[in-house]
Amino acid sequence: MYTNKPLVRMLTLGLMALAVSIGTALALDTAALDQEVSATLDHFYTLNPQNKSLVDSAAGVLVFPSVTKAGVGVGGEHGSGALLEKGKTVGYYSTSGASVGLTLGASRHSEVILFKTPEALNKFVNSNNWSVGADASVAVVKAGAGGSYDTQTLSKPVLAFAFGEKGLMGDVSLAGGKISKIDTKK
């Protein structure tokens, strides 16, 4: 009987990523995550003088202190974070995804996603499995959190930043990861 080994491997990794996501959601330490989110935002502010005013004027801010990507041929990523409105946590989220292709290595980075308008925030909150790469209204700031912003970038209703890359991985892109709400009411 013929088996498609790459497909079986991809499905196995996908199921493992799902199991890790579910396990993470069940074991989420919200107090520790809140502290990590605060520290990540503090670091974000030090990278560019404009970052604090961007956060302060946003309708909502989604912060993932640590997103881990790893793979050999088939890769995956996962991280937990919090959505803040006016500086207060209003929900917890996970980001996860899988990829197939030239993937080799492991890395970790932080992500900050700014929803600049109430409409953009509502679209995110009311969606299921939202993705940065699938939303045309998102500007991914390619220079990272310390880069300069042009008026075209700032005109988008959603700004996404990845920074603090550690490890060895071919790319730090935000496309492909799905963002889902974590139910903390147990």
pLDDT tens for the chain, 186 residues long, are 555 565 445 545 444 544 444 444 446 899 999 999 999 999 999 998 899 999 999 999 999 999 988 877 777 889 999 999 999 999 999 999 877 666 677 888 899 999 999 999 999 999 988 887 666 678 877 655 666 677 777 889 999 998 888 766 555 455 567 999 998 875
Helix 30-47 / helix 49-57 crossing angle, nearest 10 deg: 130
pLDDT of residue 164: 83
Give the span between the Cα atoms of 178 and 32, in whole angstroms.
Answer: 23
Token representation of residue 87? 């500086």
**Distance from C-alpha of 64 to C-alpha of 163, rounded to nearest angstrom:** 11
The whole-model pTM stands at 0.78
Distance CA 60, CA 41 (A): 13
pLDDT given for residue 72 in this prediction = 78
Tell me, what's the pLDDT at 128?
Answer: 85
Please give the pLDDT value at position 8.
46
Quick one: 68 exposed, middle or buried, by C-beta within 10 A (0-12, 13-18, 19+)?
middle
Q: Comparing C-alpha atoms, which of 182, 186, 172, 150 is closest to residue 67?
A: 172
